[in-house]
Amino acid sequence: MVQETHVSAANLIFPLFIVEGNNQKTEVMSMPGIYRYSIDNLLREIESCLKLGLNSFDLFPNISEELKDKYATESYREESLYLRAIREVKNNFPEAIVVTDVAMDPYSSDGHDGIVKNGEILNDETLDILGKMALAHARCGADIIAPSDMMDGRVGYIRQVLDDNGFINVSIMSYSAKYASAFYGPFRDALNSAPKFGDKKTYQMNPANQREALIEARLDEAEGADFLMVKPALAYLDVIKLIKDNTELPVAAYNVSGEYAMLKAAVQKGWLNEQRSVTEVLTGIRRAGASAILTYHAKEVLENKWLTP
């Protein structure tokens, strides 16, 4: 009766990794229990999640190296792995909420989220590619577009492209305060998407900054975002709370790959109680103010009935 915070299936978004091929299901080494699925197995996985009441998914593609180029052209090619996957999921499960990732890095031969020239990221030139990618996702049936690239001005640009093409009902979940974090390591292993040189510090945020997150969030809100996301979650609960207190928009938080990996590693060693630590993490993120939590724990908490009613 007096418990202030609850976590339910409706709060959870399950990130899923996709790989080319048939009947593929390969575990990500640094993320026990998390797999890269070929499209056929992805559909099976989504079906089993839907049965558990988990109905929101964020898809990420593992692209083979020879399809990558400087301009991420594979990201909007009609028959690409990613676009086929979105279409298949929405055709088979129209009730599933499909969140799509807009960023160049899985398709970029430089492993960066923007176009690289002379070692620098070209912010404005990148917007054109992000717009093409977002539009391609919308045409395949994406419900929510989630730009994770951190280019300035991309929310407004993508909103305009979507509206101009009649996709007025497709939402934008913006990675507003995305920090240049060490905790993305396992994700980059999963997608083989690590930067080929340098780091992402010229476009992702400095972990030391809190007030700057408000600037980023306010810009995204003004540009038409429907959700504001903070990422990672655990080292940034103050940022989640700050943004929550300063917006009427729903706030999302990404409980990232490294956060998942460290918890699982400790559980494997017998150093942490899995059920208690997973539910405490999710409750803490909810308590800080997140309505939506992107988490690799989404399926297991429902399968094991770890959430309290």
- Active site amino acids: 178, 231
Among residues 26 and 165, whose Cβ is nearest to ligand PBG? 26
In the complex, what is the shortest distance from the CB of residue 87 to ligand PBG, in angstroms, rounded to a whole number?
Answer: 21
DSSP state of 160: H
Name which position in 37, 76, 107, 184 contacts ligand PBG (CB under 6 A): 184
- Minimum CB distance to ligand PBG, residue 268 (Å): 19
Per-residue burial over 31-50, b if 16 or more Cβ lie within 10 Å, else e, is beebbbbbbebbbebbeebe
For residue 2, what is the DSSP state? -
Q: How far is the CB of 197 from ligand PBG (least distance, A)?
A: 14
Contact between 30 and 186 under an 8 Å Cβ cutoff? The reply is: yes
End-to-end CA distance of the chain: 11
Query: Percent helix, strand, coil in the chain (nearest 5)?
Result: 45, 20, 35
192 vs 246, beta carbon nearer ligand PBG: 192
Q: Is 126 in the site for ligand PBG (CB under 6 A)?
A: no
> Which pairing describes strands 171-178 and 31-37: parallel, antiparallel, or unpaired?
unpaired
What is the per-residue binding string for ligand PBG in 229-268, x denoting contact by CB under 6 A? Answer: ---------------------------xx-----------
CA angle, 2 then 277 then 101, to 5°: 100
Smaller CB distance to ligand PBG: residue 199 or 303?
A: 199
Q: SS3 for 190? A: helix
Q: Which residues contact 173 (CB under 8 A, 6 or more apart)?
A: 99, 144, 145, 146, 225, 226, 227, 229, 252, 292
Question: Does residue number 148 form part of the binding site for ligand PBG (CB under 6 A)?
Answer: yes
Q: Would you count residue 105 as binding ligand PBG (CB under 6 A)?
A: yes
Min separation Cβ 149 and ligand PBG, Å: 6
Name the minimum Å distance from CB 54 to ligand PBG: 17
Q: Write phi, then psi, for 293 (nearest 5 degrees).
A: -120, 120
Give least dist CB 245 to ligand PBG, A.
25
269 token code pair: 């060693």
Q: Determine, following the binding rule CB under 6 A, whether residue 103 of this chain makes contact with ligand PBG.
A: yes
Number of residues that bind ligand PBG (CB under 6 A): 12
The interface region with ligand PBG, picked from 45-53, 97-105, 120-128, 214-222 by CB under 6 A, is 97-105
User: Of the two residues 19 and 256, which places its CB atom closer to ligand PBG in the complex?
Assistant: 256
Work out whether strand 12-18 and strand 25-28 pair parallel, antiparallel, or are unpaired: unpaired
Give the containing element (helix H, strand E) for 87. helix 81-92
187 is an interface residue for ligand PBG by CB under 6 A: yes
By C-beta, is 188 or 246 nearer to ligand PBG? 188
Query: Contact residues for ligand PBG (CB under 6 A)?
Result: 101, 103, 105, 113, 148-149, 184, 187-188, 200, 256-257
